[in-house]
Structure 1
Amino acid sequence: MSSERLIYLPLGGAGEIGMNAYVYGYGKPGKERLILVDLGVAFPDMDSSPGVDLIFADISWLRERADRLEAVFVTHAHEDHVGAVALCYEALGAPVYARAFTANIARAKMEERGQSPDVVRTVSAWPEQVEAGPFTVGFLPVSHSIPESAGLVIDTPAGRVVHSGDFKLDPDPVVGEPFDPDLWAEVGKPGVKALVCDSTNVFSSHPGRSESEVGPEITKLVANATGMVVATTFASNVARVKTLAEAGHRAGRSVVLLGRAMRRMIEAATETGILDGFPRVISAEEAADMPRERLMLIVTGSQGERRAASAQLARGKYRGLEVKEGDLFLFSSKTIPGNERGVIRVINQFSEKGVDVVDDSSGLYHVSGHANRPDLERVHALIDPQMVIPMHGEHRHLREHAKLAEAGGRASIVAVNGMMLDLTGKAPTVVDYIESGRTYLDGTVKIGALDGIVRDRIRMALNGHVTVTVILDEEDEPLGEPWCDTIGLPEIGSSRAALVDILEEDLNQFLMRAEAKTLRDDDKIEEALRRIVRQTSQNEIGKKPEVTVVVSRMR
């Protein structure tokens, strides 16, 4: 029996939606040659990661084994799959393979981060394959909400693995390749050991709808509008952007694209030859001189992002354009869980301006880019894998998908980030647990989730901050009284006196009574002063703030 094994290790994207990063390895235990599938980001929120720019998987385990990493394969150009490629390239150093549209986006990201775009290599769709150590990898075209998405056919000495990527079964996706059941069946014909599969919509019991179904409804909505029409969708959903632009064009409106990401995606789709016939667009400056009822704005910000075009229009003007009473705003998108607050804020701001807001609660103006439960069952049957490993979903999605696979007679397991599986046998088995976590891009610096920086930032936001300054003379005696500076705290406490005055009085009382031994020890002074500030604040305002003590000595 061979001592070599085939392993699967999710570092991100298993047990969550976003931040995808999946490792495959083959070889003797502890010496496997490795490939990485996707390297994406998640986006921060003010509750859990204030001030952070991006979040991506902790790749420490992979970085320590970078000499064994053969390649990185990117399934598609959504940020949660490609967004961290440039951020992590220096640590990993492996070539990056992707289809043309995704490669175009990835190269731009490399250039933005000062990396060479030449490390990103373009690969054609199946049956073309790439040799990467013991792996042979091909890109299997799939439908999704961004062009040129792909699953991966990963051939190994232990058998074939199909990594689905994000996908849906769409016979008419408007832009990109339709679902090809014959191709999937062909891929499954030699036998598939494991299907590692998207689980996002496993709870949706009806078959998925085609992107082409939303076009007539959007066209009807825009044709009946009387004021200016503004629509938002995911910038990466090139097919939807095209559908919106065509609806505006048919209604005799001039089309304006607002938002850098929106323009970048359309440019990339055009440059790589997957988008043609896009209606003529005009600039914001040209639009400012046109009648409002002749305009159709397609803007970024479908998730309520504060800096995106939608939010800026909701607050006031953007690029000289302004929405007014009687205008129509369309959310041609689904709100991602966690983004509800930002979206509702934008909707209310538009409502205050008298703008009519249409969202997707009717299901008419958006379709998902992920396979629903009947679609997953169909794919299971088409390629007939020995085992199904659910990925790309929260734990509840993975668990439900595993049940679905087992109900069909296929081995399955719930594998979350950091859980290493051996796929060599007839059923997946857990062989190791890896420390997995998150890395934050905070400004221009990468910090670990356990570094305490974001935790301290949250604690300051919740509790406020007090800086205490003490000066001691050459004899280790206080030189004057200590003083305090507060941030994020009320000025007046329960005793109706100024909080700063009460703090300074209590601190001074301590210093006047402190023993010489204490006054000679900075650590003891800091500990005591911090305790006094927190206790006094608790008594006065019901909070224990974060405290910084500065001890200066005259020498």
Structure 2
Amino acid sequence: MSDFPNGDELYFLPLGGVGEIGMNLSLYGSGGQWLAVDCGVSFGDDSMPMIDVVMPDPAWIAARRDRLAGLVLTHGHEDHLGAVPYLWPQLRCPVYATPFAAAVLKGKLHEVGLQDIVPVHVVPPGGRFKVGGFDVEMVPVTHSIPEAQALAIHTPAGTVVHTGDWKFDPEPQVGPPTDFEALRRLGRDGVLALVGDSTNILSQGHSGSEAEVRASLIGLFSRYHGRIAVSCFATNVARLESVAVAAAANDRHVALVGRSLWRIERAARDTGHLRDLPPFVTEHDAGYLPNDKVLYLCTGSQGEPRAALARIAAGDHPHVVLGKGDVAIFSSRIIPGNEKAIFRLQNDLIHLGVEVVTDRDAFVHVSGHPGREEVTEMYRLLRPRIAVPVHGEARHQQHHARLARELGAEQALELSDGALLRLAPGPAEVIDQVPTGRLCLDGPRLVPTDSEILRNRRRMVFNGSAVVTVVLDGAGRLLGRPQLTALGLLDAAHAAEEHEAVVEAVVAAIEATPLRARRDDGVVREAARLAVRRSLRDSHGKKPITEVHLVRV
């Protein structure tokens, strides 16, 4: 494959967000240039100790950034723009976003000192603009966040509609409904390919309307006389407004608890949203309100250990306390992989005497993604020749592709990250697989998820670590007992016998090594290392990461 497409070629290349939900980073190639769409994060799990944020590795396009015309953001969710502050220094291209998404992004850029460096171009919802050789048309769609946009990417080889996240909500509460006329026009003019959201393809019917949730919350809040805590995704501005309206209908004041909620609230108000809501109160001031007059809107619906609701459940939040007679309402879905953390959080709340309400108990949530009925309608509007299911796991992609064929798509291709798909000319075909990977934010630095650092960290979680210090003279004779620290395995104060057994194994291994060989530091280190690992394997069934500090006197 040549590095860059010729003038009559059109490529699609996902570096993240295909075969998975989150970490969206897509590339379109045409006329010798590339266009990036979205640049998002996902979140760490039990396989990545102490890692919160994961993102696609942009190395392939970073190596070709002189051909990268720009980055277009479909909306302001973390899995679509959250990686920009970390990856932009590798991309160094202009960024295009609607006012709300730009406001969210600028807040994030400020946190890393890039607010005056990254060129962010604000495009009105429904706007049309050129990025290099790409003619990009934004089409407003409804979602759980303001100003979500599908993209019609017009190229000489044809038009691709990249849906981003969407649904067909007849009463979206925040922002206008989907621009159906624009979708019909695109369908009439001809759509080469639809690159579409697969998240809820397994859900029959329609995703439901935010207006129905709002009405349900009004009735639900009326049942309670203690403090109410509601947790939802911070970026779900429609839900934030629904909670506020339902609270006002029950004569309650809403306090935002969590920095991300305040950031989103500020971005929403700065761009003309939430204008009909009174100011929210701080968590500190809410403490002076009677229990039946306050509602806490909290971060932490996914069980994040440092989020507001987890701190409240642990009893270490500085301003918010919940207990018997109070209720915690989880107004969100469970993201796959977060079940254990969420259930742990809910159990902690129940132990405090708090009633827990989820979408299994009451109508408190609708998805921001389309059900099967809505996907069917989208295909009937656009009538694409080619379907490319994205934003879903393999099972979602398979069902989406099957439905697309039933609805008349000539081709439906199930890809993985790194699959280089030629959309035109000729039949769509995967012609190459480019290298892909994942990076994680480890403190202030980006580290590959398959790096030695993280492999060792995982090993330490399960096997512990050991450090032994050995002091020898120049001839190789021991000058005292080795000093051992076995973190996560041995406590010298309470397991003295076991600790001494490991030390004795190190002494025996060194003394069994010929004196001449002990002049070689490498030989001594390896003998001591193996002795520690063998001894702990035999006594504890563990193979710790082992370091040997050798001192010559």
Q: TM-score range by the shorter chain?
A: over 0.9
Tell me the residue number matched to 1:245: 244
Task: Give the conservation status (yes or no) of the 8 Å contact 1:214–1:364.
Answer: yes
Tell me the residue number matched to 1:264: 263
Work out the CA distance in 2 between the residues paired with 1:378 and 1:88.
Answer: 36
1:437 aligns with 2:437: yes
Shift of 1:306: 1.2
Tell me the residue number matched to 1:211: 210
Residues 353-432 of structure 1: matches in 2 within 5 Å?
Answer: 353-362=352-361, 364-410=363-409, 411-432=411-432
Task: Give the conservation status (yes or no) of the 8 Å contact 2:107–2:263.
Answer: no
Task: Give the conservation status (yes or no) of the 8 Å contact 1:12–1:20.
Answer: yes
Which digits, 9 at most, give the CA deviation of each residue in 1:442-463, with x for residues without a partner?
A: 0011111232111110101100
Which digits, 9 at most, give the CA deviation of each residue in 1:378-423, with x for residues without a partner?
A: 1011011110100001111111111111222311111110111000
The residue identity in structure 2 corresponding to 1:24 is: Y
Provide the secondary structure at the position in 2 that maps to 1:333. Answer: coil
Residues 83-122 of structure 1: matches in 2 within 5 Å?
Answer: 83-117=82-116, 119-122=119-122
Which digits, 9 at most, give the CA deviation of each residue in 1:90-143, with x for residues without a partner?
A: 1111000000000011111112111134511101123x3221222111221111
Shift of 1:492: 8.5
| Higher mean C-alpha deviation, range 175-184 or range 194-203 | 175-184
Work out the CA distance in 1 between the residues paired with 2:7 and 2:147.
Answer: 38
Work out the CA distance in 1 between the residues paired with 2:165 and 2:277.
Answer: 25
Tell me the residue number matched to 2:135: 136
Shift of 1:466: 0.9
Work out the CA distance in 1 between the residues paired with 2:186 and 2:201.
Answer: 23
Work out the CA distance in 1 between the residues paired with 2:317 and 2:439.
Answer: 33
Task: Give 5+ residue unaligned stretches, structure 1.
Answer: none
Work out the CA distance in 2 between the residues paired with 1:142 and 1:533.
Answer: 61
Residues 39-78 of structure 1: matches in 2 within 5 Å?
Answer: 39-45=39-45, 47-78=46-77
Provide the secondary structure at the position in 2 that maps to 1:257. Answer: strand
The residue identity in structure 1 corresponding to 2:467 is: T
Shift of 1:319: 3.8
Percent of aligned pairs sharing the same letter: 39
The residue identity in structure 2 corresponding to 1:191 is: G
Work out the CA distance in 2 between the residues paired with 1:531 and 1:286.
Answer: 60
Work out the CA distance in 2 between the residues paired with 1:363 and 1:349.
Answer: 20
CA 1:200/1:426 → structure 2, altered by over 3 Å: closer, same or farther? farther
1:17 aligns with 2:21: yes
Provide the secondary structure at the position in 2 that maps to 1:161. Answer: strand
Tell me the residue number matched to 1:147: 146
Which digits, 9 at most, give the CA deviation of each residue in 1:420-475, with x for residues without a partner?
A: 10000353201110111101110011111232111110101100111111122122
Task: Give the conservation status (yes or no) of the 8 Å contact 2:510–2:527.
Answer: no
1:38 aligns with 2:46: no
Give structure 1 regions of 4+ aligned residues with deviation exceeding 6 angstroms: none
Which digits, 9 at most, give the CA deviation of each residue in 1:471-507, with x for residues without a partner?
A: 22122322223221110004499xx862220111111
The residue identity in structure 2 corresponding to 1:227 is: G
Work out the CA distance in 2 between the residues paired with 1:380 and 1:336.
Answer: 27
Residues 222-371 of structure 1: matches in 2 within 5 Å?
Answer: 222-362=221-361, 364-371=363-370
Task: Give the conservation status (yes or no) of the 8 Å contact 1:249–1:279.
Answer: no
CA 1:398/1:363 → structure 2, altered by over 3 Å: closer, same or farther? farther
| Higher mean C-alpha deviation, range 65-74 or range 543-552 | 543-552
TM-score, scaled to structure 2:
0.96
Work out the CA distance in 1 between the residues paired with 2:361 and 2:512.
Answer: 71
Which digits, 9 at most, give the CA deviation of each residue in 1:145-194, with x for residues without a partner?
A: 11111111101110000000000111111002212322211122210100
Task: Give 5+ residue unaligned stretches, structure 2.
Answer: 1-5
Shift of 1:512: 1.6
CA 1:509/1:138 → structure 2, altered by over 3 Å: closer, same or farther? same
The residue identity in structure 2 corresponding to 1:94 is: C
Provide the secondary structure at the position in 2 that maps to 1:189. Answer: helix
| Higher mean C-alpha deviation, range 175-184 or range 430-439 | 175-184
1:184 aligns with 2:183: yes
Shift of 1:210: 0.9
Shift of 1:229: 1.1
The residue identity in structure 1 corresponding to 2:23 is: M
Tell me the residue number matched to 1:476: 476
The residue identity in structure 1 corresponding to 2:157 is: A
